[in-house]
Copies of this chain bind each other. A is one copy, B any other.
Amino acid sequence: MPKVSPAHKERRREAILNAAMEVFITKGYQVATVGDIAQQAQLSVGALYRYFPTKADLMLALVRERLGRAPELFARMTRSVDDPWERLVRCVELFTTALRVRHPGTGRLLLVTMAEAVQHGEIRQGLHDRFAGLVEYVAGIIAEGIARGRFRQDADPQTVAALLLAMADGVAVYWVTGTPDVELNAMGQSLVAMLRSYLLPEPLLKE
């Protein structure tokens, strides 16, 4: 008979991950100490180690559970939209909103994670999975638009999707390093305009 309920364990695990996220995005992975995270989670170091057996495992869990779920999250939040173009626009909106409002730390986590990925294979794999998942989803939207005759026929879904997402992550990373002069909304609008002019054939613009 375990002393604490599984629910309690799960709640504590989440608390630790939140603390780790907060500390990692503030100090970076290497500079952050396990003690910092324990303190942030209001726990002793020893207790923390019962949940995550290494410092690296904390980072890895964050990559998998915070970044890695982006694809399914995007899919779920745009499922209701039928028109491919509208869905694409919705994605861009989601990204900028998420960055600014809902998950302001995710961008920083992405940056810190990328830096660590150079050295750490499992983290790199986690990022690959997330990127590949997002590309696949967005490429799917584009491919559908092409199939339905809504989008320009000679577009390459994979490449355009990768480009779009690299841009999104590039913006995210610049945004979180505090680069000035990056106005998210304006960039989102310009991006949509650029995509429209590229993907949507003139006749379809109904203008």
Residues of A within 8 A of B (CB): 25-28, 30-31, 108, 111-112, 114-119, 124, 127-128, 131-132, 135, 155-156, 158-160, 162-163, 165-171, 173-174, 176-183, 186-187, 190-191, 193-195, 197-198, 202
Q: State the oligomeric state as a number of copies.
A: 4
A and B contact pairs by CB, cutoff 8 A, 6 listed: A27-B118, A163-B171, A163-B194, A166-B171, A170-B171, A197-B198
- The residue of chain B having its C-beta at the shortest distance from the C-beta of A123 within the complex is B177
Select one of B26, B131, B174 contacting A179, CB under 8 A.
B131
Distance, CA A110 to CA B129, complexed state (A): 22
Q: Which residues of B contact A28 (CB under 8 A)?
A: 30, 115-116, 118-119
Select one of B117, B156, B169, B181 contacting A162, CB under 8 A.
B181
A126 to chain B, nearest CB (A): 11
